[in-house]
Amino acid sequence: MQAEPLARRDEADRDRHGGRGDDNRSAARAHDAVGDARGAVEHGLQRGWAVGSAAAVPLRPSRHAGQRSRGPGAARRAGARPARRRSARARPIPATIVRVRPGVPTLADASDPLGKLQRGLGAGYLWALDADRTVAHALLMHCVFNDPRWDRQLDDRDDYHATLALDLQLHTGALELWLHDSDEDIPDTTYDVLGMLGRMAVRGHADARRVLREYVGHGRYWQRALDQLIGDYDDAPRSAMPWPEVVGGLDAVLVERFATDDALAEALAGLDPRERPWTMWSVENPRIARAFALEPKGAGGVPAAPAPSASSSSRRRSPRERTVPARTRPREMSTAELLQIAEDSRWTQIADELASRRAPGDVEQLLHAANDPAVPMRRAAILALGRQGRRELLEIAEEHTKGERDKLQGAIALALEAMPLSHTRALAHDWLASPDWARRRKAAGMLATWSEDEDLAPARRALERELDEGLEGDVYVICSLAQALGRSGVHGPFVELQQAYEQIPYSYGRRYIVAALAASDPTFDGDVAVECLWDCEAETRRLATTHVDRRVRLAAQRLEELAADEAQAASVRAAALARLRG
Q: How many CA atoms lie within 13 A of 345 on its CB side?
A: 0
- From residue 473, give the alpha-carbon distance in Å to each of 37, 68, 430, 477: 32, 10, 18, 8
**499 compared with 6, residue with greater pLDDT:** 499
User: Is residue 156 within 8 Å of 191, Cβ to Cβ?
Assistant: no
Question: What is the rounded distance in angstroms from the CA atom of residue 145 to the CA atom of residue 181?
Answer: 14
Please write the tens of the pLDDT for every residue from 537-558.
999 999 999 999 999 999 999 9
pLDDT over threshold 70, residue 26: no
Q: How confident is the model at residue 18, as a pLDDT?
A: 37
Residue 232: pLDDT band with limits 50, 70, 90? low
Give Cβ neighbours of residue 132 (< 8 Å, ≥ 6 apart): 40
Pick the closest to residue 458 from 450, 470, 447 (CA basis). 447
User: Is residue 102 within 8 Å of 63, Cβ to Cβ?
Assistant: no
pLDDT over threshold 50, residue 433: yes
Q: How confident is the model at residue 329, as a pLDDT?
A: 87
Query: What phi-psi label fits residue 196: left (phi over 0), alpha (psi between -120 and 50 degrees) or beta?
Result: alpha
Average pLDDT over residues 300-308: 39
Residue 14: pLDDT band with limits 50, 70, 90? very low
Q: How many CA atoms lie within 13 A of 138 on its CB side?
A: 23
Average pLDDT taken over every residue of the chain: 80
**347 compared with 17, residue with greater pLDDT:** 347
Pick the closest to residue 329 from 350, 303, 348, 358 (CA basis). 350
Please write the tens of the pLDDT for every residue from 101-145.
333 347 999 999 999 999 999 999 999 999 999 999 999 999 999
DSSP letters, 474-511, are -HHHHHHHHHHHHHTGGG---HHHHHHHHH-S-TTTHH
Residue 265: pLDDT band with limits 50, 70, 90? very high
Q: How confident is the model at residue 234, as a pLDDT?
A: 53
Pick the closest to residue 119 from 535, 485, 443 (CA basis). 535
Residue ranges, CATH 1.25.10, the chain: 328-419
Please write the tens of the pLDDT for every residue from 198-226.
999 999 999 999 999 999 999 999 999 99
Q: How confident is the model at residue 243, as a pLDDT?
A: 85
pLDDT over threshold 80, residue 508: yes
Give Cβ neighbours of residue 541 (< 8 Å, ≥ 6 apart): 532, 533, 534, 535, 562, 569, 572
Average pLDDT over residues 560-566: 95
pLDDT over threshold 80, residue 25: no
Question: What is the rounded distance in angstroms from the CA atom of residue 425 to the CA atom of residue 141?
Answer: 47
Pick the closest to residue 352 from 375, 393, 380 (CA basis). 380
CATH number listed for the domain at residues 328-419: 1.25.10
Give Cβ neighbours of residue 190 (< 8 Å, ≥ 6 apart): 178, 179, 182, 183, 184, 219, 220, 221, 224
pTM value > 0.85: no
Question: What is the rounded distance in angstroms from the CA atom of residue 360 to the CA atom of residue 351?
Answer: 17
pLDDT over threshold 60, residue 321: no
* Other CB atoms within 10 Å distance of the CB of residue 149: 22
Residue 473: pLDDT band with limits 50, 70, 90? very high
pLDDT over threshold 60, residue 28: no
Q: What is the SS3 assignment for 448?
A: helix
Q: Cα-atom radius of gyration of the chain, to the nearest Å?
A: 28
Pick the closest to residue 20 from 29, 11, 12 (CA basis). 29
Please write the tens of the pLDDT for every residue from 438-465.
899 999 999 999 999 999 999 999 999 9
State the alpha helices, DSSP H only, in 168-248.
173-181, 187-202, 206-216, 222-230, 243-246
C-alpha torsion 533→536→539→545, nearest 10: 0
Give Cβ neighbours of residue 93 (< 8 Å, ≥ 6 apart): 35, 38, 39, 42
Work out the angle between the directed axes of helices 475-487 and 495-503 (0-180°, nearest 10).
150
